[in-house]
Structures are given as structure tokens and as C-alpha cells.
Structure 1
Amino acid sequence: MHRRRLIAYAGMAMPLAFLGLPLYVYVPATYAQLPAIGLTMTGLVLFGARLLDLLTDPAAGLLLDRWRYRVHPFVWMLIGAPLLGAGASWLFTPPPDAGALYLLLTVSLTYAGWTLVAVPYFAWGAELAETPSDHRRVATWREAGSVLGAVAALLLTAAAARDALPVLRDAMLWLLALALLMLVGVPRRPMANGIVGVSWTELWRHTPSGMRRLLGLHLLNATAASMPATLFVLYAAQVLQLSERHTGILLLLYFLSAVAALPLWLALARRVGESDTWLLAILLCAVAFLPAAFLGTGDADWFALVCLLTGATLGADIAMPAALQAQLARAQSERLGMPRHASAFGLWGMASKLAMAAAAGISLPLLSQFDAGEARSAALPWLYAWLPASIKLLVAALLWRQRRLLLPADIDGEVTRHETNATDNERLADAAARRL
């Protein structure tokens, strides 16, 4: 694939990632301070909206695939982008008397728009790539766009000081519009005529076993990755005693390290494949996180090294499994004779969102078991570092055993050239004997 097309495609990842900082950090704090809603109701509304949001990705994926023969993913993105822009605009600038209903409607509209942009966007990327190398490049460039979007949000937040939400809203709208214009230059490949739909049961029955394994690994790994993100601000403030400005600098270092390391991971994946590259990234991240459990006040420099090393693994930790999922989605589409890219990434999106919810649902209740003060400060480093590192080591062990099983098989069930399956060989031999 030409680099210009990759850049044009990767542009949409920026506003999607840019949205994360205000949505998950500033929105809860803003609404919790409103007299008509308060802290408890804000948490309940956001939790309920997130539960509903878990179901929208697979539902949208199935809908998109059913209508793929008539409606290109770009059209769905054009429908979702105004919903995303309008929902985020209203969500980020609530009136002083905004209540629970206002929050529920605006955050639900934002989530719905995000789904109608993100699911077809990922599915389109899987359609664009034809070879494993293409899938790696698409996923890597998309991850680069995501990291740059997060960096831009951090920089704008620092520049805007206290009144950050209106600035972030305007920047997100401009990025979203620019990304849509960039996508005009990305090729849109036609599909065969006709509309074909399958039930969820048939879809799961035809899902490659490698995709099921990959979804499980992704869920575990994303949960482990989301735990430090959930506890980062608490860890920096209570354990390291850092200011908000210093915390922002460390986050910036983390994401810049991710951007710098992406070309190295892509080069390694060309030599050893996505599974082994992902395995190495998981191991490096787990090992780099362990020292954070022993840091304390005055150890900001050592924690900067932790951020540098773990940030360097971020790109491979996200891009490599996404590239594998894209390859498996293409294999499933070819096996069924119909598009299944959106359904595959609908399940992927649901697993990602479930991981974020699980991370908060595990780490925060565990932390609340310790009394505020010294006991909680002593437990926080272990929950921040050792718990996610332990889960990542478990994922690494599972991936080591299954990494050769995460490869797509063709319609006849014959595995790729990287793997030999004895059962398939026996079936082929029996078929040859019958022909004799």
C-alpha cells in the first residue's frame, strides 16, 4: 500500500483517540461538580451508559456487514461523525442546570456516534489490506494516529489550563472534519452484488478458532493495560507526590515513546511475525512495570524510565493483535463468501470496552478495601504495577502456547504455510485414497 493512502487512512484515528482524554477524565469531574447531579449520580449514569455501549459494537458490526453490499463503511462514518460531533459538543459544555437525563442523552449520543465511526473504520482497514504485511502497516499507522491524537489532547490540555473542555471540543471537531476529508482519498473497493446475512449462531460457528483465542487474549491483555491507566493519576499523586504538571509531562513522555518505537516494532514483525512481536512487547511491558511497585516520593526520574520503557511497548501491544484480527477477519469473510470484517471488529470493540470496565471494576474496589492514608498508599503501588504485570505474564504464557494457532486458515480448512495441522493432512489423505 502506498504511504499516502496509509496516512490518509490513519488520520481518523487521531480524533477518536483525542476524544478519550476529555471523555474519561474531564467529563466525570465536570458533571460531579454540578449541583443537579453530583458525584454518585454521575457515576451511575456513566456506568449504565457504558453497559449499553458494550452491546452497540457487535450489533453495529453485524448490521454493517449485512448492508456492506449496498453501503460502504465510509457512508456509515459520514452518518456517525455528525452524531459524534454533536454529542461530544453538548457533553463537553453542559448548562449549569444540567441533570442526569442531560448527561445520559449526550453521553449515549457520543457513544453511538463513536461506534458508527470506529467499527466501519476498523473494518475498512481490514478490507484495504491484502497481505499480512499490509495488515501490519495499516494497524501500525492507525496506532500512530491514535498516539498522536492522545499527545495532541495532552498538549492542548496543558495550554488551556483550567478551561480545557471547550478548547478540546473545538479541536476535536476540526480533527474529525479533517479526517473525513482525508478519507476521501482512500480507495473504496466494491463488493459482489447481493445482500447476505447470517445469524449470530451461524456467525460464531464459522468464526475461526484463532479469532476466538485472540479475542480472549485481547480481553485479558487490554484489562491488564487498562489497570495502570485507571490508577495512574492516583499513583502519581499519592505515591510519587507529583504535581499535575509533572504528571502530564510523564504521560507525554509515555506516548512520545510509543510513537518513536513503532517503526522498530514494524520492522521486527516483518522478520518474526505479529504473534512473536506481540509476545515480546507483552513481556517487556510486564518486566518494565514491576519496579514501579518499589518507587516512592522523590523517585520521579525512575518512574520516567518506567514510562519510557512501557510506552515503547504500547504500539506493538495494540497494533499487532489488531493486525492479527484483521487477517482472521479476511479469512472468515473468504470462508463464508460474504463480508465479516465489521462483525469481527464489532466483537473486538466490545472486548476492548469490556476490558476498560473490568479494569476499573477490579482495581478500584480492591483499592477501596484499604483504609485511606498509609495503608492505601502502600497497597496502591502493588495494584498499579504487580497486578497488571502478573496478568500480562499470564497472557504471555497463553500466547506462547497458542501463537501458531492465531493464523488464518483457508476455506478448505488447510492451515497457512506457517503451520501444519495433522487432522487436515489426514482428511486430505483420506480424500485422495477415495479418489483412487
Structure 2
Amino acid sequence: MATLPYADYLDDRSITRPEPARVGEGEPSRLRLTGFASIAVPIAGAGLPLALFVPQLYATQFGLSLATIGFIFLLGRIWDVSADPLVGALSDRTRSRFGRRRPWIAAGGLLFGLSSALLFFPPAALVTPAYLGAALFFFYLGWSMIEIPASAWAGELSRHYHGRTRVVSYQALLRAIGLLAVLVLPTILDQVEPGNGTLKLQLVGGFIIATLIPSLVLTLFSVPEPPVPATPPVRQSFWRATSVIFSDRLLLRVLASDAVVTAGQSIRASLIVFFAVWYMGLPAWASGLYLLQFIFGVAAAPIWLRIGTRIGKRQAAISGEIAQAAINIGLLFVFPGGLPLLLALTIAQGLTQGSGNLMLRAMVADVADAHRLRTGHDRTGLFFSVFALSAKLGPAIGIGIALPLIAWLGFAAGPHNDPTALEGLKTVFALGPALAHIIATLIIWRFPLDEAAHAEIRRALDQRDAIPA
């Protein structure tokens, strides 16, 4: 099948551009879109307790060594990263009476629910390293089988440039609610039964399973799955699929920008407790700052939907990243005991939180459309699986840089740090994320796939799909 040279295609300004469709025109209603996005609540709610509570409980209550737990989680993360592109590629190739994405999400939901019960409600008599390893194996597999097809489905749910921003905004809002819940519930429990790690783990696990069942039904049946593209499914090896990914420069730019943004956010998250306790001298606010940021983050998704719809995804992403860079630089002017300015900057951080991630996620489906026009093959699921890697690569980069750097500057967790070491902590906490947001901005500064270009790509795809195979 003949394909258009993508670069020439975008640069041809003589083409008459179709008028972009208005947001909401022919799109799912708010209620249906909320139901579709609701699976983000248990998925997002599972990540934080998995890192915070599971290792602690399995070490203290069941006697597994920290080295063993660390090794098992490392293997689990490697498996998780490997499973994403496999699930993405296979879901692209799936053809069934129920659709491409639904069978994967349904099977993944069952696997995710059962493995969550094993992880968060472990029978003491059966807990061994093998038990933890097997539970994590199926947990991560179920997670990938839900998240990757659901993300691809979200990208296919709207064909319009701003419609996709609307879809991912709802996903971001529900994701923020899930994260907020798993931050609030343990905080409340600490006021009633402080130090009860087992009950805390079961409370969070119960929340995940209780929200999984209705959200899975809503996601599967709230909206129809779009028709399968007329192009045949791609059958190729995993390594060939990987080479295809790394040959798409637009996808690499979106992926690199998101990885840098996530790395900056991880620097802030990994140092915020140290900064609040040892630099600011405000131990009572160690968890409260993170919670406050997330509360305002919940309110941020609808705001950034309006901004992205008005000025475009690229411009909204750039605006959000510049704002976050400025907010983090403002932390240089916070001094010990200066709570009012710190609270103001934390609220501002929450309101801009995820702006870049949100817009970049919405760009992935546009890039997949451009790829399908250029190559003739639909790889939407594969593209979203690769984009998911940045959420896992970013924290590794951020933590891997931030913690060794503050240690090199002389800081150690504890009260005995000299003023130079504390200033080093503050500098990394402020400028590390700021630099990451600036780099992310530069990566997408001249991103060519804007609203007009995407409208023309969709017109060409619709014309080609209308021709009988």
C-alpha cells in the first residue's frame, strides 16, 4: 500500500485544512466518559501502597529479609516493563466478537483482583519468597492487561484532536482520586490505630478490590469500542516491534519529554519528606504537604482540559512545564519555618501537577494516527505500552540522581546535618525538578503535530479506510 512521506505531508501548507470538530461533537457524554475512566481509580490506587506498605509488612510481619524483598521487587519491575509492549502489540492484533481491547481488560481485571487479594491479604502460613514473587508476577501482568489496552482504547475513543485531550483529562481526574484515597485512608487509620501495618495494608487492599469490581464493569460497557481499522493486524517479532518504536521520532520525543517530566516529579516526591522534616523543621507537615498537593491536583484536570482545548496540547504542555519550573525555583526563597510561602507553592504545584503528563498522553494517539498514515499499520496499543514505560523509567532516573546527589553534598537522613548539607538538599529539591521541566519543554518546543496537521491526517485516514480492502 502506498503511503505518504510523513515529513513532506506535514510541511505542505498548500493543503486546504478541514475545520476541526468542536469538542463534544459526536463524543461520549460526561457520565459515560466518567464510567469508562473509572478503572483508573483502583489501578492508580494500587501503585503507592505497593511501594510503601507491602515491603514493610512482608519484612516485619512475615520475616522476609529486605534484600530478598528488594530482589523480588526488582525482578517484578523488570517483568512489568517487559509485559507492557507484549500486551500492547498483542491487543493491537486481537480480533474477536467482543472487540480488541475488551477481552484483555476483562481477563486482566480478573487476574489483577485475584493477585491483589494475595498481596494485600496474605495468609501467614503460606508467605514465602516464592509466594511474594508469584503474587507480584500475576499482579503486574494483570495491571498491564488492564492499563495498556484501556489507554489504547481511550486514544481510539475520539478521532478529534481536542476530543482526545478531553478523554485523558477524565482519566487523569479519576487517577488523581484513586491516589488521593490511598493517601487519605492510611492517614485516617493512623489517627485511630497508629502503627498497625497489617490493618493499613488490608484497608488499602480492600479499597482496591472494592473499587475494581464496579469500575471494571463500567469501563467495559460504558462506551462502544471503535471499529477495527481496515488495515490488517501486524504480525512481527517482539524485536521487530521494538525497532519500529525506535524509528518513530515523534513518539520518541513524546516519550523522552514524559520521562524527563516524571523524573522531575520523582525528585520532588523522594525529597519532600527530608525537606519538610530536616530543612524546614516541620515534621508535622511531612505527609500533609504531599496530600495537599494531591488534593489540588484533583482540581487541576478540568482546568488543564480547558487550557488544552483553547490553546492546543503542545502549547498547554509547554505552559504547564514552564509554570512548574518557576514554582520549583520559587522554593529557593523558602527558609526554615516559612510555612505560608511553602504552602502557597505546594498548592500551585498541585494545580499545575500532571499538566505535561496529561497533554503528552493525549498526543500519543495523534502520533499513532500519523504512524498509521505513514506505514499503513495500526500500532496504537504498542505505542501506549511504550509511553507507559516513561512512568516507570522516570522514577528510576529521578531517585537514582537525587538521592546520591544529596548524599554527595553531605546530607544524611537525620538531625545532624550542617547548614551546607541542608542548603544542598534545598538546592536539589528546588532546581532538580525545575531543570527537568525546562528540558521537557525544550524537547517538545517545536513539536510539528498540531491541531491542523492532525485534522488533515484524520481526513486522509478516513478516506483510505473507506476504500474496500
Range into which the TM-score falls when normalised by the shorter chain: 0.7 to 0.9
> Where does the alignment leave 5 or more consecutive residues of structure 2 unmatched?
1-26, 191-195, 460-469
Could you tell me which residue of structure 2 aligns to residue 3 of structure 1? 30
Does residue 390 (structure 1) correspond to residue 435 (structure 2)? The answer is yes
Shift, 1:203, TM fit: 6.9
Map 1:14-413; keep pairs closer than 5 Å. 14-34=41-61, 36-68=63-95, 71-96=99-124, 98-161=127-190, 162=196, 163-183=199-219, 184-191=221-228, 195-199=233-237, 200-201=239-240, 204-205=243-244, 208-243=248-283, 246-369=285-408, 370=410, 372=412, 373-375=416-418, 376-400=421-445, 402-404=446-448
Q: Is the 8 A contact 1:208 1:408 kept in 2?
A: no
Q: Return the offset for 1:202.
A: 6.2
Q: In the alignment, residue 186 of structure 1 is paired with which amino acid?
A: V
Greater displacement, 119-128 / 335-344: 335-344
Count of residues in correspondence between the two structures: 413
**For 1:40-93, what per-residue CA distance to the aligned partner results, in whole angstroms no more than 9, with x for missing partners?**
332232223212222111121111112246652121111111221222222223
* Structure 1 stretches lacking a partner, 5+ long: 418-436
After TM superposition, the score normalised by the length of structure 2 is 0.81
User: How far has the Cα of 1:409 moved from its partner?
Assistant: 6.2
- Residue 169 of structure 1 and its aligned partner are, at CA, apart by 0.7
**How far did 1:115 drift?**
0.7
Summarize the Cα distance change of 1:11–1:298 in structure 2 as closer, same or farther, 3 Å threshold: same
**Cα distance change of structure 1 residues 398 and 337 upon mapping to structure 2, 3 Å threshold:** closer
Percent identical among aligned pairs is 27
Q: 1:423 is matched with which residue? A: none
How many angstroms apart in 1 are the aligned matches of 2:62 and 2:422? 31
Contact map agreement 2:229 2:378 (CA 8 A) in 1: no
* Distance change (3 Å), C-alpha of 1:304 and 1:116: same
Q: 1:385 to 1:42 in 2, by over 3 A?
A: farther
SS at match of 1:36: coil
Residues 331 and 408 in structure 1, CA contact (< 8 A), matched pair in contact too: no
CA offsets 1:272-293 (integer angstroms, 9 cap, x no match): 1000100010011111012334
* TM-score using structure 1 length: 0.86
How far does residue 125 in structure 1 lie from its aligned partner after superposition?
0.3
Task: Tell me the alpha carbon deviations over residues 24-49 of structure 1, each in whole angstroms, 9 at most, x when there is no partner.
Answer: 22223223324632333322322232
* Residue 308 of structure 1, CA deviation: 0.6
Aligned amino acid, residue 151 of structure 1: L
Amino acid at match of 1:379: G
Contact 2:262 2:391 in 1 (8 A): yes
Residue 6 of structure 2 corresponds to none
Could you list the per-position Cα deviations for residues 218-275 of structure 1 after superposition, in whole angstroms to 9, with x for gaps in the alignment?
111221122212222333232233346x333322321221222333322222221000
Identify if the C-alpha distance between structure 1 residues 33 and 83 changes in structure 2 by more than 3 Å, giving closer, same or farther: same
Shift of 1:170: 0.8
